[in-house]
Amino acid sequence: MIEPREIRTVFMGTPDFALPTLQGLIEAGVNLCAVFTQPDRAKGRGRKLAAPPVKELATQHQIPVYQPEKLRSPDSVAVLRELAPDLIVVVAYGQILPKSVLDIPKYGCINVHASLLPRYRGAAPINMAIINGEKETGVTTMLMDVGLDTGDMLVKRATAIGPLETAGQLHDRLAVLGREAMEETLRQLCAGELKPEPQDDSQTCYASMMSKSDGRIDWAQNAETIHDLVRGLHPWPGAYTFLAGEMLKIADTLPHEEVEGLPGTIVSATERGILVSCGQRSLFIRSLQLPGKKWLSAAEFLRGRPIEPGVRLEL
């Protein structure tokens, strides 16, 4: 049995998703000797440099921060070897760890991944689980190897996906669940109880990074499929269609009973929502956004831009 404070640890992570796990390691008393995160990036209209969320949290706790452009560079690897961590914990870092890094810590590199592996390896597991209509997802901690999310699994935590839950909402819940999974992984590590389990490659699928083009709606699909796409891409990159040649993002949808009409035809437009015919059934749209504008409820949108039934959204 070892104590968390005896484990010299490097944390690697960048966005908000990584914060609960880092906070959990801090509160567990792990000996955090350094944090590695992505370089500061220009953001916003003013294009001012902004620190990653992980850097801000690490700085608050006086943890040394390193921001290499390329982790695989000889200089970065040399810094890590000099730090001599017993463990590296990785959560949404944004760079692939080369073998030269994976081989450094005696307890290995442990990743917190936002799916129930071996399902949904890759960069967008949260989005794809919703888009594919999954009813359950979760997080998995795993021992990293040179493959992409192919390492042996350690601890899993599952959760149901709500029928109206968006990727943004699920992201926030899984971030907390990731902390819980890592805390249990740390407990088992300290107790000598970790039991790595190989992944079954035949059960895997890959969730590649999303792009804006993934959000274009095909109204010939059924309402449930479109609904899952909309919530799986909210808040980014967003699902969209075209109204009179102008891009229109949509959110907060709800499948409705079957209504006759060509796919993409607006059946009704009221304060309750805009009802659109799909390949099967129809879809209520309750939130909309035009380019450069803020999100509006259906009622607010229609006050500024009335829409008559029979108008067809472009496929």
**Residue 149: pLDDT above 90?**
yes
Whether 196 and 285 share a structural domain:
no
Q: Which residues pair with 112 in a beta bridge?
A: 141
- Are 37 and 157 part of one and the same domain? yes
CATH number of the domain residue 130 falls in: 3.40.50.170
pTM of the model: 0.96
Domain encompassing residue 270: 212-304
> Which of 162, 177, 207 marks a domain boundary?
207
Q: Do 198 and 285 have their domain in common?
A: no
Assigned domain for 309 exists: no
pLDDT recorded at residue 259: 80
246 and 170 fall within a common domain: no
Cβ pair 282, 270 in contact under 8 A: no
Residue 260: which pLDDT band, with cuts at 50, 70 and 90?
confident
What is the C-alpha separation between 72 and 66, in angstroms, rounded?
Answer: 13
DSSP state of 291: T
pLDDT of residue 106: 97
| Whether residue 223 sits in one domain with residue 189 | no
Check residue 234 and give its pLDDT: 98
Question: Would residue 310 count as lying in a domain?
Answer: no
Examine the domain organization and report whether 48 and 160 are in the same domain: yes
% of residues, the chain, pLDDT over 70:
100
The confidence score (pLDDT) of residue 243 equals: 96
Contact 102, 89 (CB under 8 A): no
User: Is 20 part of a structural domain of the chain?
Assistant: yes
Strands 121-122 and 206-207: parallel
Q: What is the DSSP string of 12-74?
A: EE-SGGGHHHHHHHHHHT-EEEEEE-PPPEEETTTTEEE--HHHHHHHHTT--EE--S-TTSH
For residue 15, whether the previous peptide bond is cis, meaning omega lies within 30 degrees of 0, is no
Given 177, 207, 237, the domain boundary residue is: 207
Position 46 confidence tier, pLDDT thresholds 50, 70, 90: confident
Do 246 and 281 lie in one domain? The reply is yes
pLDDT score of 137: 98
pLDDT at 258: 77
Do both 23 and 158 map to the same domain?
A: yes
For residue 220, is it within any domain? yes
Q: Tell whether 231 and 89 lie within a shared domain.
A: no
Q: How many domains does the chain have?
A: 2
- Given this model, what pLDDT does residue 42 score? 86
CATH number at residue 279: 3.10.25.10
Q: Judge whether 313 lies within some domain.
A: no
Q: What is the pLDDT of residues 271-286, one digit of tens each?
A: 999 999 999 999 999 9
Crossing angle of helices 19-28 and 53-60, in 10° steps, is 20
Q: Which pLDDT tens digit goes with each residue over 178-230? A: 999 999 999 999 999 999 999 999 999 999 999 999 999 999 999 999 999 99
**For the segment 134-146, what is each residue's pLDDT rounded down to a tens digit?**
999 999 999 999 9
Mean pLDDT confidence for 228-253: 97
Whether 65 and 103 share a structural domain: yes
What pairs with residue 280 in β-bridges? 222
> 191, 207, 223 — which closes off a domain?
207
CB contact set of 196 (below 8 Å; sequence gap of 6+)? 143, 152, 153, 154
295 and 203 co-located in one domain: no
Whether 261 and 121 map to the same domain: the answer is no
User: What confidence score (pLDDT) does residue 77 get?
Assistant: 98
